[in-house]
Structure 1
């Protein structure tokens, strides 16, 4: 096993199509609250639009040789991006700046989860997000049923802020 980490430009995210779609299938498999909402979630409806709406993007892919085994996608976006036809993800008035940081998507194939890949990707994302001094608020949105992810982020210092969509998503915040 030879793991490498590569930062992708926005133009090169297409290579994450399969991994992103696997993430949506994984999230649906864990969901206990309205799992059917994941039926319309995929690379074209989640990752691609998020990259386009963000002010800054940071995408890291993890490979074992040439095989993609995981990725993380974080962004800096106008806070209004998180109030849309799907949901309002947080009280916009509770955010001090014009933009927020978000660790938006995080996926590691199950057989690679015991090699500190998650901690490495998380650290890389947090270091990138901290470069934006004007952004004080960082959010992570965890789908229901994904207790391992929820516990991982809490161990990393994030706290549960609230739930949205009747518990479909748990919102975590850095403060």
Structure 2
């Protein structure tokens, strides 16, 4: 399978709309806690605001021929960005420094899973995040019910830190 990986500048995130919306639907289909929370989550309410609020963004898409079949979105943001009206994602006092790295969104179309695309996207994301020498804490937020994602991130060296929103999200943490 001929998969190409391409960096997407912030102004071209529209190409991720369909997959981001698929991700939200996928997460809702897996969740066992508060699935209604996903009713208002989509590209316009999740990805666009996150890209706008982050200090730095990194979006990589996986393409099969000209079709985007997966993407990963990572960012560097002030740690205070994760204490908002939706939730407090982690204890800010435990973060070394003023900013954190986050693997924010990650999705691969079902027919393209199990070909190593996820590992490649993950590695490209972590490579980018680790370029920031002042960033020591990395977070991934996994919706409940998505056990495959949870196990994938654990195999990649992330550890479960805690749950938030009564188990709606599992917070994983890694460090430099």
Q: TM-score, normalised by structure 1?
A: 0.99
Q: Tell me whether 1:10 sits opposite 2:6 in the alignment.
A: no
Give unmatched runs, 5+ long, in structure 2.
Answer: none
Map of 1:23-172 to 2, 5 A cutoff? 23-172=23-172
**Deviation beyond 2 Å, 4+ runs, structure 1:** none
Q: Output the CA distance in 1 between the equivalents of 2:2 and 2:14.
A: 23
1:82-105 CA distances to partner (integer Å, 9 max, x unpaired)? 011000000000001100000000
Alpha-carbon offset, residue 2 of structure 1: 2.1
Q: Output the CA distance in 1 between the equivalents of 2:165 and 2:114.
A: 32
Q: Output the CA distance in 2 between the equivalents of 1:131 and 1:66.
A: 29
Match of 2:73, SS state, is strand
1:76-124 CA distances to partner (integer Å, 9 max, x unpaired)? 0000000110000000000011000000000000111111000000000
Q: CA RMSD in A?
A: 0.6
Q: TM-score, normalised by structure 2?
A: 0.98
Aligned pair count reads: 175
Match of 1:84, SS state, is coil
Q: Output the CA distance in 1 between the equivalents of 2:43 and 2:156.
A: 27
Q: Output the CA distance in 1 between the equivalents of 2:96 and 2:15.
A: 35
